[in-house]
Amino acid sequence: MKLPVIRQLTQFIEDNDEDFVIETIETLENLTEVPSLKDEELDVIGELLSNMYGALEVHAMIKEGTPNKEALNTFMSRVMGSIDK
């Protein structure tokens, strides 16, 4: 996951609608079922998906009243904490 990408996607959700990101997630998840995809291609799709799911979580925190920067930091701390375990 990359914080700048999640920040950009979160801004996109705020400017537009989270439905765009949800539909993109559904499309990318469907693409992962293509049997001829190489591991590298699946890795790229997986990275995009994780960033989009992260942006949706950050957006949910912002909707609950958490300031933008704090929501991003909280999310990334949670991610880093789960990696360290």
Q: Which domain holds residue 16?
A: 3-84
22: left (phi over 0), alpha (psi -120 to 50) or beta: alpha
- pLDDT single digits (tens) 28-58: 999 999 999 999 999 999 999 999 999 999 9
pLDDT of residue 39: 95
What value does the mean pLDDT take over residues 13-21?
96
Share of the chain above pLDDT 70, in %: 94
Please state the domain count of the chain: 1
**67: Cβ contacts below 8 Å, ≥ 6 apart:** none
- CA 40 to chain CA mean position, Å: 19
pLDDT of residue 84: 56
**Do 45 and 32 contact (CB within 8 A), yes or no?**
yes
Tokens for 31?
A: 């693409």
pLDDT of residue 1: 83
Residue 80 has pLDDT above 80, yes or no: no
> In sequence order, which ranges of 1-67 are alpha helices (DSSP H)?
3-15, 18-31, 39-63
pLDDT of residue 83: 65
